[in-house]
């Protein structure tokens, strides 16, 4: 299950004030896109198996193996020039990168052209390094 919210940028009568979160939807399935992959990498698990077990047995069968990490997603757009090349990023973070691919055409407007997902143990160093390389970074720790 996952919930989706948005934050109001202006006051809306009946909804809330600037900065309030408003519920958008509730889904009784794993989140879409690369979110399940990121959770799998961060938790060393299989969220689809956990979801299937919950649907079929009403319980979690797959145990937590205790290996927890941070998962970092960053993307680039072909229309921009970057300080570091694709090859330099792979050279610096190759041992941590768990996904590196060109995005499908339909996802480019939202997600960029090239994506990188890395699994790391040190949050502070990762935030500093990835912010230097990409500007903004989304980190998840579940």
- pLDDT per position as a tens digit, 56-89: 999 999 999 889 998 888 889 999 998 889 999 9
CA distance 34 to 101: 12
Q: Is 138 helix (H, G, I), strand (E, B) or coil?
A: strand
pLDDT of residue 136: 54
Sheet containing strand 70-76, edge to edge, reads 97-102, 114-120, 70-76, 138-140
Instruction: Answer whether 9's CB lies under 8 Å from 21's CB.
Output: no
**Half-sphere exposure in the Cβ direction for 88 (13 Å, CA):** 9
How much helix, strand and coil, in percent to the nearest 5, is found in the chain? 35, 25, 40
Given a cut of 80, whether residue 46 has pLDDT beyond it is yes
Q: Report the CATH number of the 33-142 domain.
A: 3.30.70
How many residues does this entry show for the chain? 142
- Name residues whose C-beta falls within 8 Å of residue 133's C-beta, 6 or more positions apart in sequence: 74, 83, 84, 89, 92
CA distance 55 to 128: 40
pLDDT tens-place string over residues 102-132? 999 999 998 899 999 999 888 777 777 777 6
Domain boundaries, the chain: 1-30, 33-142
pLDDT confidence tier of residue 142, bands split at 50, 70 and 90: very low
Nearest residue to 103 via CA among 78, 126, 127:
78
Note if the pTM is more than 0.85: no
Mean pLDDT along residues 88-98: 91
pLDDT tens-place string over residues 15-33? 999 999 998 888 877 777 8
Where is pLDDT greater, at 3 or 138?
3
Structure tokens at 120: 């790391």
């Amino acid at each position: 299950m996952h919930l989706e919210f948005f934050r109001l940028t202006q006051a809306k009568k009946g909804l809330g004030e600037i900065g309030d979160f408003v519920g958008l939807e509730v889904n009784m399935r794993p989140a879409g896109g690369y979110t399940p992959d990121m959770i799998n990498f961060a938790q060393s698990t299989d969220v689809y198996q956990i979801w299937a077990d919950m649907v079929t047995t009403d319980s979690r069968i797959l145990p937590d193996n205790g290996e927890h990490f941070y998962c970092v997603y960053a993307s680039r757009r072909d229309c921009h020039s970057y300080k570091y090349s694709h090859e330099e990023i792979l050279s610096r973070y190759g041992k941590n990168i768990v996904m590196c691919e060109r995005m499908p055409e339909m996802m480019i407007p939202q997600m960029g052209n090239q994506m990188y997902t890395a699994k790391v143990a040190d949050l502070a160093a990762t935030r500093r390094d990835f912010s230097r390389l990409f500007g903004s970074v989304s980190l998840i720790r579940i």
